[in-house]
Amino acid sequence: MAEFDFEAVVVGAGAVGLACGYALSKRGLSVAVLEKEAAIGQGVSSRNSEVIHGGLYYPTGSLKARLCVQGRRALYAFLETHHVGFDRCGKLVVATAPEEAPRLEAILEQARTNDVEGMAWLTKAEANALEPELKCEAALISPQSGVMDSHGYMLALQGEIEAGGGAVVVATPFEGAEPLDGGGFSVRAGGEEPATLACRYLVTAPGLDAQHVAGEIAGFPKADIPAGHYGKGRYFRLAGKAPFSRLIYPPPIHGALGTHYRRDLGGQAVFGPDLIFVDALDYSVDPSIRGAFAAYIRKFWPGLPEDQLTPDYAGIRPKLHGPDEPQGDFRIDGEAAHGIAGLVALFGIESPGLTSSLAIGDEVAKRLGL
């Protein structure tokens, strides 16, 4: 029987890798989470909308549909217990023109199939009674949607892993792994003090690096590594007073939920993200797109003062589809997918990955037979 340094090694200390580490630690395993950057949460988890999604849109039977709803319920409980900031402000999905109303009907039906609590149809007058500056023909209300402090969440997960005797090791890139005779893995970690660790279970949650990391695991079938694409989303911030207290979402665009409004925990209004496919990790926000952003926002907020809209940040989605392909599901690939016992590899953990993270952790544990 091999001696293991840790029972489980997780690659990547974003929200999902930390949630996987927490799930394994809760089951009594000793866990090491390896992070290549000098701090946790510097990847996709630090460049998103921080929205806790209700789980309205995702197709029946998909991992996204199930894990978003389960993850959201677990997340609110976790944030409350760990005193991490959140605002269960609710969300309005709005029809900005009469022809969008049938899309709201379809979203309402899908949300009910997905077991999303408290969904209701609002007339224009009912929506305006809640949000007087809103322009819409009709709306859906999702009372369980909200916003959160994603960094506070990741720190709380790190705290739980460490309290369980595990380690979150920064500035330590995963460089490869070889399966051991008799089970488990030998993991090569780089950084200032390169080391080799033996572990029984290996989980890879490296976000945008998922394809590269899987390629460094000896025996991982190359044909089972899905092609990756970068889906960039840009945000603008409003300098003035936030106009709405709830999240405001027009119907989704192809491949994403589309540019929406949120009031962040600091009380400021943020609009975004759009979706463009890019070849490189470039986080710049081109100020010249302000006019296009403003035109889109005016569909639901005619009172927007365009000169108060300033370029803010951008994030990049780890997508498994290109611009003209249908949007895919999360991939949580265990032994049945790649044939390697004790390994779970995550791919395409785009939105709603933050909301789903605790449920993804539990699903990973289940796929390891734990």
Ligand X SMILES: Cc1cc2nc3c(=O)[nH]c(=O)nc-3n(C[C@H](O)[C@H](O)[C@H](O)COP(=O)(O)OP(=O)(O)OC[C@H]3O[C@@H](n4cnc5c(N)ncnc54)[C@H](O)[C@@H]3O)c2cc1C
Say how many C-beta atoms besides its own lie within 10 A of residue 165's C-beta.
Answer: 12
Q: Does 16 bind ligand X (CB under 6 A)?
A: yes
Of 17, 21, 255, 311, the residue at the interface with ligand X (CB under 6 A) is 17
Q: In what order do the strands lie in the sheet with 86-87?
A: 51-52, 146-148, 86-87
User: ∠330-276-235 over CA atoms, to 5°?
Assistant: 95
Q: Does 355 bind ligand X (CB under 6 A)?
A: yes
What is the nearest approach in angstroms of ligand X to the Cβ of residue 230?
9
Give the C-alpha separation, 89 to 144, whole Å.
8
- Tell me which residue of 213, 203, 243, 181 sits closest to 343, measured CA to CA: 203
3-state secondary structure (DSSP) of residue 58:
coil
Torsion of CA 42, 47, 49, 52, to 10 degrees: -30
Radius of gyration of the chain (CA): 21
Q: Does 53 bind ligand X (CB under 6 A)?
A: yes
Q: Does 65 bind ligand X (CB under 6 A)?
A: no
What is the nearest approach in angstroms of ligand X to the Cβ of residue 125?
29
Say how many C-beta atoms besides its own lie within 10 A of residue 173's C-beta.
Answer: 17
Residue 277, by phi and psi: left (phi above 0), alpha (psi -120 to 50) or beta? beta
Q: Does 274 bind ligand X (CB under 6 A)?
A: no
The residues, any chain, with a CB within 8 Å of residue 109's CB and separated by 6 or more, are none
Q: From residue 344, how far is each of 138, 224, 312 by CA, in Å?
A: 43, 13, 35
Q: Does 114 bind ligand X (CB under 6 A)?
A: no
Give the C-alpha separation, 66 to 79, whole Å.
20
- Binding to ligand X (CB under 6 A): which residues in 194-233? 205-209, 213, 233
Q: Does 48 bind ligand X (CB under 6 A)?
A: yes
Q: Does 264 bind ligand X (CB under 6 A)?
A: no
Nearer to ligand X, 10 or 104 (CB): 10
Q: Does 23 bind ligand X (CB under 6 A)?
A: no
What is the nearest approach in angstroms of ligand X to the Cβ of residue 58?
11
Type of residue numbered 252: P
> Is residue 116 packed enough to be buried (19+ CB in 10 Å), middle (13-18) or exposed (0-12)?
buried
Stretch that binds ligand X, among 47-55, 104-112, 245-253, 300-308 (CB under 6 A): 47-55
Stretch that binds ligand X, among 41-49, 59-67, 92-100, 218-226 (CB under 6 A): 41-49
- Binding to ligand X (CB under 6 A): which residues in 233-252? 233
Of 353, 359, 365, 368, the residue at the interface with ligand X (CB under 6 A) is 353
Give the C-alpha separation, 140 to 235, whole Å.
24
Stretch that binds ligand X, among 40-48, 105-113, 194-202, 283-291 (CB under 6 A): 40-48
Please count the residues of this chain forming the interface with ligand X, following the rule CB under 6 A.
Answer: 41
Q: Does 11 bind ligand X (CB under 6 A)?
A: yes
> Is residue 41 packed enough to be buried (19+ CB in 10 Å), middle (13-18) or exposed (0-12)?
buried
Q: Does 8 bind ligand X (CB under 6 A)?
A: no
Q: Give the contact letters, 178-197, x = binds to ligand X (CB under 6 A), - = no.
A: --------------------
Stretch that binds ligand X, among 11-19, 81-89, 102-110, 288-296 (CB under 6 A): 11-19
What is the nearest approach in angstroms of ligand X to the Cβ of residue 243?
19
Q: Does 146 bind ligand X (CB under 6 A)?
A: no
Of 37, 137, 264, 312, the residue at the interface with ligand X (CB under 6 A) is 37
- Tell me which residue of 20, 5, 116, 42 sits closest to 345, measured CA to CA: 20
Q: Does 273 bind ligand X (CB under 6 A)?
A: yes
What is the nearest approach in angstroms of ligand X to the Cβ of residue 128?
26
Q: Does 45 bind ligand X (CB under 6 A)?
A: yes
What is the nearest approach in angstroms of ligand X to the Cβ of residue 1?
28
Contacts to ligand X by CB under 6 A: 11-17, 34-37, 42-45, 47-51, 53, 173-174, 205-209, 213, 233, 273, 315-317, 349-355
